[in-house]
Amino acid sequence: MDRANAIRLLEALMAGGKYSGTPIAAAWIHKKAWEIGLEGQNLVSALAYAGNEGWLADGPQRGQILLTGKAEAIMRNLVRRTRRG
């Protein structure tokens, strides 16, 4: 479930126009998570999973997070698989 929630969160962030290397305010991430129904422990677990997988990294300032190139690659692979059916 952590992986699925982490992927849902990545999808929401990328749909919101965030890509690797762009600092994202933690508050904006929480807003996007809330919009897709991720809250509390489910959000914490999703963020931890994404961080452990190297999909998220600390941003240049406190309270910021970066999507990594790994996050974009995982999303590209998922889109390809979905299109193939």
Q: How would you classify the pairing of strands 56-58 and 64-67? A: antiparallel
CATH at 67 = 1.10.10.10
So what's the pLDDT on residue 5?
95
Percentage with pLDDT > 90 across the chain:
68
| Cα–Cα distance measured from residue 56 to residue 5, given in angstroms and rounded to the nearest whole number | 14
| Cα–Cα distance measured from residue 18 to residue 38, given in angstroms and rounded to the nearest whole number | 18
The number of folded domains in the chain is 1
Encode pLDDT of 10-28 as tens digits.
989 888 887 788 899 999 9
Q: What is the pTM of this model?
A: 0.85
Range of the domain at 60: 2-84
